[in-house]
Amino acid sequence: MKISVLTPDLSQNCLGRAYLLAKILQRHYDVEIVGAIFGRGIWPPLANLDNIECKCVKIEGGVRAYWQLRELAAKISGDVIYASKPRFSSFGIGLLRKFVCRRPLLLDIDDWEMGFMKEAYKNLSLAERLKALVNSFLNPQSSVSYWNDFGVPQVGLDLLFCEKLTCLADEITVSNNFLKDRFGGQIVWHARDTEALNPDKFDSGLIREKYGIEKNEKTLMFLGTPRRHKGIEDLVEATSLLRRQDVKLIIVGVDDTRYSQNLVRLARQKLGQNIILFGVQPTGKVPEFLAMADIVVIPQRRNLASVGQMPAKVFDAMSMAKAIVATDTSDLPEILDSCGWIIEPERPSQLAATLQYILDHPMEADQKSRKARANCVQKYSWNALEEILISIFRKYE
C-alpha cells in the first residue's frame, strides 16, 4: 500500500509534522510527500527529506496558484491520502482526490489554525480584516505562507472553509488534547527518533569547546522557529534578571524575518556578550546543539495562537535528557509531570527564579532529565507512536 502525505507548504516549518508522519509510516508502507513550494525552496532543516519520495509544484502566486494546485493534486499517487493541516493546499486538494478518485482521506491537525487567525486579527479594524481575507483569496500564497515578515500568523479564507470541512475526512489524528476535544480523533504526539537523539552519542564537553563555551559557563537554550507567541522576549528578560556573567543564553533558529532581527537586537541590548545566536539548522544537527545546553526553556505565552499548539521541541529536549523549564500552556504540564519545571507564562521574574533554582540544584536537575528521557522513549518515541499510526492505517490495506 502506498500513502501520500500532503503538506501545505514544503518551504515552511509545517513540513516538519508531515515529515515525522511520513518517516514513521515508511517503516511499513511505501510513502511519498506531496506539497506546494510557496517560498524559495524546501524548508532548509529538511532540505534532503532523507530518502522520502517528494513531489512538488512551485507556486508563483496570484489567482493562477489555484490552477497550479490542481496540477499538484494530479501528482498524488497513493492508495491512501494523509493530509497535514486543514489548509486548501493540503486538505483541500486531498478532498479533490478523495471524491474524484475515491481514495480514503485522513487528516492530521497539529495546530489550531483558527487560533493563529484570531490572535492575528484581534487588533485589526474591520476594514483591515476584510482586506486581509480578500487578499488571502486572491493570492493563496499570502495565507499558506503562515507568517509575515513580523512573525504574525497569516491565515484567511481557505482556513475558514477547510476547518468547516474536517468532518469529510475518513479519520482524524491530532497532536494534543485541545485539538482532540475540538476535532475528535486519535492523538499522535510529536514523536522523536530517540536513537538519533541519544545523549550518550555526544560529547557535550567537546561540542561546547567547538562553539567557544567555557567549562565553567552555564547555558540556557531556546531552539526552534522564533515567533511572537513563543515568549522568547520573556526568556531574554529572565536571563538578564539573573545578573550572572557565567550564564549564556543560546538561541538556535534565528531566521531572516523582521521579528527575528528585532529579537536579536533586544537580546544583544539586554545581554551583551551573554547571548549566542545561531541561524536555522538542519534537523540532523539538533542533538549536537542540545548537547551543549544545561537547561532548555520553552517559554510559550498563553494566547489563542498557543492554546492549540504542542511545542515539538520539548520532545527533542526530553530525548536528549535535558533539564526543561516550560510554561503552563497546552499539554506541557502533563508531558513534563515530574520530569521538568512548569511556570506561569509571561512571568520573567518567576522564570529567572526557577532557572536559578535549577542551576543551584544540579543533582535534582540530573534526576529529572534522566526521567524525561525515559518517558520520551516509552511514550513519545517513533517506536511508541508507530503502533498508533499502524493501527489506524491497517484497516485500509
For every residue of 75-117, DSSP letters joined together read: T---SEEEEESS-IIIIIHHHHHHHHH---EEEEE-S-HHHHH
> Using 50, 70 and 90 to split pLDDT, how confident is the model at 131?
low
**Lookup: cell for 136:** 488571502
What pLDDT, on a 0 to 100 scale, did the predictor assign at position 304?
85
Q: Which residues pair with 140 in a beta bridge?
A: none
pLDDT, tens only, 183-200? 999 999 999 999 999 999
pLDDT, tens only, 300-328? 999 888 899 999 999 999 999 999 999 99
Q: Look up the CATH superfamily of 199-379.
A: Glycogen Phosphorylase B; (3.40.50.2000)
3-state secondary structure string, 187-253? ECCCCECCCCCCHHHCCHHHHHHHCCCCCCCEEEEEECCCCHHHCHHHHHHHHHHHCCCCEEEEEEE
CA dist list (Å): 119 to 21, 113, 154: 28, 10, 10
**Lookup: cell for 217:** 559557563
Q: Is 57 exposed, middle or buried, given 0-12, 13-18 or 19+ CB atoms closer than 10 A?
A: buried
> Cα Rg for the chain, rounded, in angstroms?
21
Nearest CA-CA partner of 137 in 157, 164, 119, 117: 157
What pLDDT, on a 0 to 100 scale, did the predictor assign at position 157?
57
Task: Report the alpha-carbon distance of residue 320 to residue 202 in Å, rounded.
Answer: 10
Q: Pick one of 3.30.379.10, 3.60.110.10, 3.40.50.2000, 3.40.30.10 as the CATH number of 2-191+382-396.
A: 3.40.50.2000
**Lookup: cell for 152:** 504574525
User: At residue 62, does pLDDT exceed 90?
Assistant: no
H helix or E strand, kind and range, residue 166: none
Task: Report the alpha-carbon distance of residue 15 to residue 155 in Å, rounded.
Answer: 17
User: At residue 142, does pLDDT exceed 60?
Assistant: no
- In the chain, which residues fall in CATH 3.40.50.2000? 2-191+382-396, 199-379
260 phi, psi to nearest 5 deg: -60, -40
pLDDT, tens only, 334-379? 999 999 999 999 999 999 999 999 999 999 999 999 999 999 999 9
This prediction has a pTM of 0.90
What pLDDT, on a 0 to 100 scale, did the predictor assign at position 144?
42
What pLDDT, on a 0 to 100 scale, did the predictor assign at position 145?
43
What is the pLDDT of the chain when averaged over all its residues? 90
Q: Are strands 186-187 and 323-327 parallel, antiparallel or unpaired?
A: unpaired
What pLDDT, on a 0 to 100 scale, did the predictor assign at position 256?
85
Give the list of residues 6+ apart from residue 43 with CB closer than 8 angstroms, or none. Answer: 10, 11, 12, 13, 15, 16
3-state helix, strand, coil in the chain (%, to 5): 50, 20, 35
Report which residue type is found at 99: F
Q: Are strands 295-298 and 218-223 parallel, antiparallel or unpaired?
A: parallel
Q: At what angle do helices 348-360 and 232-242 cross, to 10 degrees?
A: 60
What pLDDT, on a 0 to 100 scale, did the predictor assign at position 63?
58
Report which residue type is found at 112: W
Task: Report the alpha-carbon distance of residue 372 to residue 366 in Å, rounded.
Answer: 10
**Residue with more model confidence, 21 or 65:** 21
User: At residue 116, does pLDDT exceed 90?
Assistant: no
Task: Specify the residue for cell string 512538488.
Answer: 56
> Counting every residue, how long is the chain?
397
